[in-house]
Structure 1
Amino acid sequence: MSQATEEFFASLPARAPAILRAPVTGTLQIDLTTDHRTDHWLVRLSPGRAVVDRARGPADAVWSSSADLFERLAIGTAQSISAVLRNESTFSGNVMLFLVFRQFFPTPPGVRDPRETAREQTGRA
């Protein structure tokens, strides 16, 4: 398991109050594969709280990905929804958990909020 992935999961509980504001509650199992080995992460989400275990268990949703892809997501060089749409990863279960969880991923380097760009353009005009 990469250091970026380990750090990502370790940071979830501290970052949860700022990210998990929606009234969504559930458990997401994340399966990360490398060659013939699968690492399991269980993330219990609730408003303002994320509990992370390196385990497999009952879950409301399961997200499967290669460990390499997940590392790219964790450092912001890949997009989670794009990966699912391209069938680079799979998801089943409560889709709201996936949509909420993806907010933990950083934005890709160099990406700017279009609202910020519009404000700058309006200020110049």
Structure 2
Amino acid sequence: MTEATERFFESLPARAPEVLVSPVSGTMQIDLAQGGQTVHWLVRLRPGEIEVSRDRGPADAIWYTSADLFDRLVTGRAQAISSVLRNESSFSGDVVLFLLFHRFFPDPPGTRDPRTVARRQAGRLP
């Protein structure tokens, strides 16, 4: 497990109030495979709050991916939804939790919001 992944999970509780604004709640287990071992993270999502532990337990959803891919996700070098669609990772259970959780991942480096670009071109922003 990389330091970037550890820091990502540590940062979630502080970032939850701005990301988890919908009324969705549930528990997601994230299984990260590396070599012959699997590291488990249990994430409990509630409006404005998130709890993270290294436990396994009953979960509304399970996301299984490699530790390497997850490291690329937390650094913005890969996209979560694309990884599932390309079968680089697998997900089962409540898909709304996955869609909510993926909002914690950063945008790829150099990404610009198209609305900001359009406003600049229209002369409304410097």
When the two structures are superposed, what TM-score results if normalisation uses the length of structure 2?
0.97
Q: Within 1, Cα distance between the matches of 2:64 and 2:85?
A: 13
Structure 2 residue aligned with 1:30: 30
Q: Within 2, Cα distance between the matches of 1:64 and 1:90?
A: 5
User: How far off is 1:53 after superposition?
Assistant: 0.4
User: How far off is 1:84 after superposition?
Assistant: 0.5
User: How far off is 1:35 after superposition?
Assistant: 1.0
Structure 2 residue aligned with 1:40: 40
Matches within 5 A, 1:38-117: 38-117=38-117
Q: Within 1, Cα distance between the matches of 2:113 and 2:64?
A: 29
**One-letter identity of the residue aligned with 2:94:** N
Structure 2 gaps of 5+ residues are none
The number of equivalent residue pairs is: 124
Deviation sequence 1:59-82 (CA, Å, 0-9, x none): 000000000000000111110001
When the two structures are superposed, what TM-score results if normalisation uses the length of structure 1?
0.97
Runs of at least 4 residues of structure 1 off by over 6 A?
Answer: none
Percent identity for Structure 1 against Structure 2 = 65
Structure 1 gaps of 5+ residues are none
Q: Within 2, Cα distance between the matches of 1:81 and 1:59?
A: 20
**One-letter identity of the residue aligned with 1:108:** P
